[in-house]
Structure 1
Amino acid sequence: MMIPQKTRELSTSEVRILSLASIGGALEFYDFVIFVFFATIIGKLFFAASLPDWVRQAQTFSIFAAGYLARPLGGIVMAHFGDTRGRKRMFTLSVLLMAIPTLLIGLLPTYQSIGVAAPLLLLLMRIMQGIAIGGEAPGAWVFVAEHARRGRAGFAIGLLTSGLSFGILLGSLMAACLSRVFSQTQIAAGAWRIPFLIGGVFGFIAMWLRRWLKETPVFEEMRNRARLSRELPLGVVLKGHCRAVVTSILSTWMLTAAIVVVILMTPSLLPKLFGIAAGQAQTANLVATAALCISTIVIGAATDRFGVRRVSVPMLLFLIASAYGLYRGAETMPAMLLPLYALAGFGAGAVVLTPIMMIHAFPTSIRFSGVSFSYNLAYALFGGLTPLLVSWLAHLDRIGPAHYIAAVTVVGLCATLMAPKHALSEIDAPGAL
């Protein structure tokens, strides 16, 4: 169905809401992922020098993984209050909860100064980051979708998801800039703190900016009509919306496969599997992440016009084809790595279909809780298992990572086609899925 021109145009209020939400989301995801770019240095500084390198590295990544394991806790708690007290309050609180531990990581004393207390404090900060990020993405998706006028939710979610992806790009750019400006010795001596301090400061700025956001009209309407859930929202989700939960979890599995494998793991896999220079892989990864940021907007807007189901079939098939193209190309024609990785990054933009589908899978009164529980539970499970499974598959077959993406994407496609649908507002007719 064609959308009238007046509906497609964004008002000043919508531009402000989308901009503030996207900027805040980008900075919060930057704060969450910057840790992994400096994992090697952090391992050397926060654990005993007498430990073997592989032990320190394993312990460092265990602390990184703790952030993923803490996501469901933060998501459940913030979603509960988001469904009962308001979306805006939790949306703003998540930024504050991320800014504080990120800033403190940049100020923490190292193992040499306080001994075993250093890694314990680092673990505590990482758990706090995980709690914060557990409420950010689901809260942001619900917030912008319920603010969007009818027929524009896909574009709004696409722009917000682009902002979240841009946070990953910012982390990669920060790591690249630091390595150019400082030597490894200087970075270990204290320059590693700069990205965390900057992230913390900008997190407080993002929180201040979000003060100017208004509560979503959908929630206000529901509150005015006294239709807020009187039961525990998560209890309602688990009792009456199992189909929505299962399809959302399976779709999120597809999301983790695309982001973790294509964007986060591939730069380190390419040199090991195909002998590609690390610098070449990193440059291609930056281009792929930029393509991801663009793709989420394009695909999100396409769902407004054609519906999620019609868009999901060609885009998820393109994700599979581009993943195979990337790994086959790296094996047979490494000179084409950059354009092939850019196509894979664009294909990975199909992850935006997951939040769009989830937003419609749950009714308004328990939407935040349903999306947050499903998304964070799946990310805690599959986000931790995916690196292990993909590393094992890559050991058996150099194209193994592409096989994994293909298999999980098929599962995600089936979930998208089987998902239930609800209108964004109780007074609207159901949106096209």
Structure 2
Amino acid sequence: MSSPRITVDPRSLRRAYAASLSGTALEYYDFAAYSVAAATVFGDLFFPSGDDLVGTMAAFSTYAVGYLARPVGGFVFGRLGDVIGRKKVLVYTLLLAGIATFLIGLLPTHAAVGGLAAVLLVALRFAQGVAVGGEWGGAVLLSSEYGDPRRRGFWASAAQIGPPAGTLLANGVLALLSGVMAEDTFTSWGWRVAFLLSAVLVVFGLWIRLRLEETPVFKQIADRNERPSAPVSEVVGQERRALFAGILVRVCPDVLYSLFTVFTLTYITKELDMSRSQGSTAVMIGSACQLLLMPAFGALSDRMNRRKLYLYGTIAAAIWPFLFFPMIGGGSFLLLVLGIVVALVIHAVLYGPQAALITEQFSPRLRYTGSSLAYTLAGVIGGAPAPLICAALLLWFDSWWILGVYLVLTAILTGIGLWLARDPAVETEEEAAAVTEAVTT
């Protein structure tokens, strides 16, 4: 018996794309605001020491906490997303991220309450990570399960636009604040404004998500009574290869992104005597380019083999540090901008198709859980320790070349993931039979 056909209203499709993009952008605004603050002011405010680099490493340790918390979010919210639905879970994750970020803006510093300040910061960073861990898988499905599965690369890229959009907004707000304020004022309280603004963004995100219906694919699964009772166990027991593939393909892009948007801000200020605003400006320009490149490369992956495109990006990622660091050695701002833009273009080659590549590894009834676990567990070995490892390697070897070697090793892991991954042709054909392509006229 053939599958019931699902008719997708074009307005709902556009609304789902907007909900996926805006919600993810908000949560990555929260994450990026912390990342920039960790690289610039949190070391002195929450982890004071006599050595600037040691203080920065301590701040990056709490940066890693956000990644380490993601598997908790993937486990809890991923399971709920396959059991109770995508929409409800995405409302919960949005609220959790927004409240945690707002409270960071109210935290007392070490000078006021001593070590308690660092404890509170770590706790709120953990809450941010839990929220992001549950957000990504659902945001990807929100747009891709409304859209034509034959164009999954494009529709799933809505969630991928969120990180550069959030990074652009966070860097822009913090750069503006540091530019219009005296250094002492910004360090004292100006940085807090960027975190308090999350309250406004949460209200906007909720307005969009609460107006959206559940995805057609999940409705069909629920109507057939095919919702899993133990999705985590099923993924680990039945779709283990897909899980390993999904984890490994994320490692290199995560490290690449952390290296060029987080650690580079520290590198140029400590090693090249360049200003914080120069680094933030370069990241903003690169992130702005990604806003268009993410959906473009997502769409390109619908027209060519997705794994092959991903492999090209991985090779480019492994090569670029060996060109980037000598290029910026003279302290040129223009070369810094060029270098970071190229790095983020390479990241877009990987990140644009990534959502589709990971989600299509799993069966639809386990897709939220499987995608969330792959995404979050990859962060533990990729993005979480990356800034800390980079800082430690620079401290121990006192040379940039070891950073390039580190990225090459992560590229090898991602190559193994691509070898384990499968192409989606069969599943796409089967799912396409159950979903009517949206009419765009």
| TM-score bucket (shorter structure) | 0.7 to 0.9
Give per-residue Cα distances to partners, 1:133-166, cap 9 Å, x unaligned: 1111122112222121232211122232112221
- 1:13 Cα offset (Å): 2.8
Q: Which residue of 2 aligns with 1:374?
A: 374
* Cα distance in structure 1, aligned partners of 2:116 and 2:389: 32
Letter in 2 for 1:150: P
% identical aligned pairs: 28
Q: Does the CA contact (< 8 Å) of 1:253 and 1:408 recur in 2?
A: yes
Does residue 206 of the first structure (1) align with residue 205 of the second (2)? yes
SS of residue paired to 1:152: helix
Q: RMSD value over aligned CA atoms?
A: 2.8
* SS, match of residue 300 in structure 1: helix
In the aligned structure 1, how far is the partner of 2:232 from the partner of 2:240? Answer: 11
Deviations 1:79-118 (A, max 9, x none): 0110111011111111001111111222233445445443
3-state SS of the aligned residue for 1:75? helix
Tell me the TM-score normalised to structure 1 length: 0.87
What is the match of residue 28 of structure 1? 27
Aligned pair 1:118/2:117, yes or no?
yes
Q: Is the alpha carbon distance of 1:331 and 1:106 closer, same or farther for their aligned partners in structure 2, counting shifts above 3 Å? A: closer
Counterpart code for 1:213 = L
Unaligned ranges ≥5, structure 2? 1-8, 435-441
Q: Deviations over 1:180-211 (max 9, x none)?
A: 11112222332222111101331233123210
Counterpart AA for 2:312: P
Structure 1 position 411 matched with structure 2 position 409: no
1:154 aligns with 2:153: yes
One-letter amino acid of the structure 2 residue matched with residue 390 of structure 1: C
2:389 corresponding residue in structure 1: 389
Q: Contact between 2:104 and 2:195, CA under 8 Å: does it hold in 1?
A: yes
Alpha-carbon distance between aligned partners in 2 of 1:246 and 1:158, rounded to the nearest angstrom: 22
Say if 1:303 and 1:120 are closer, same or farther in 2 by CA, change over 3 A: same
Matched, 1:312 2:310: yes
Deviation at 1:353, TM superposition (A): 3.3
Larger RCO (alpha carbons 8 Å, 6+ apart) = 2
Aligned partner letter, 1:131 = V
**CA shift in 2, pair 1:42/1:396, >3 Å:** closer
Distance 1:44 1:71 in 2: 26
Q: What letter matches 2:361 in structure 1?
A: A
CA distance in 1, matches of 2:44, 2:393: 29
The aligned residue for residue 354 of structure 2 is: 354
Paired AA for residue 293 in structure 2: S
Equivalent residue, structure 1, for 2:80? 81
Maintained 8 Å contact 1:27/1:167: yes
Could you list the per-position Cα deviations for residues 9-42 of structure 1 after superposition, in whole angstroms to 9, with x for gaps in the alignment? Answer: x933322221222112111111122123223544
CA spacing shift, 1:25–1:76, aligned 2, 3 Å:
same
TM-score (norm 2): 0.86
Query: What pairs up with 1:164-203 in 2 under 5 angstroms?
Result: 164-203=163-202
> Which one of the candidate residues 376, 381, 400 is aligned to 2:402?
400
In 1, the alpha carbon distance for the partners of 2:213 and 2:177 equals 38
Q: How does 1:245-394 map to 2 (within 5 A)?
A: 245-272=243-270, 279-331=277-329, 334=332, 336-349=335-348, 350-394=350-394
| Aligned residues of 2:63 and 2:384 also touching (Cα < 8 A) | no
What residue in structure 2 maps to residue 243 of structure 1? 241
Displacement of 1:228: 1.3
| 1:117–1:424 distance in 2 versus 1, CA, 3 Å | farther
CA-CA distance at 1:360 after TM superposition: 0.7
Structure 1 residue 57, shift from structure 2 partner: 4.4
Deviations 1:380-421 (A, max 9, x none): 232233234334554364233333333422432342243135
Letter paired with 1:11:
P
Superposition pairs of residues 214-233 of structure 1, within 5 angstroms: 214-230=213-229, 232-233=230-231
> 1:53 Cα deviation (Å)?
5.8
Gap change, CA 1:94 and 1:359, over 3 Å in 2: same
**Structure 1 residues 50, 279: CA separation in 2 closer, same or farther (over 3 Å shift)?**
closer
How many aligned positions are there?
420
Q: Tell me: CA distance 1:110–1:396, structure 2 relative to 1, closer, same or farther (3 Å).
A: closer
The one-letter code of the counterpart of 1:159 is A
Amino acid of the structure 1 residue aligned with 2:156: I
Q: Is structure 2 residue 89 aligned with structure 1 residue 93?
A: no
DSSP-derived class of the 1:38 partner: helix
In 2, are the aligned partners of 1:103 and 1:201 still within 8 Å (CA)?
A: no
Are residues 255 and 393 of structure 1, via their aligned partners in 2, closer, same or farther at CA, if it must alter by over 3 Å? same
The question of whether the paired residues in 2 share the 8 Å contact of 1:22 and 1:164 is answered with no
> Are 1:364 and 1:425, in contact at CA under 8 Å, matched by a contact in 2?
no
Query: Matches of 1:312 and 1:116 in 2, distance apart?
Result: 44
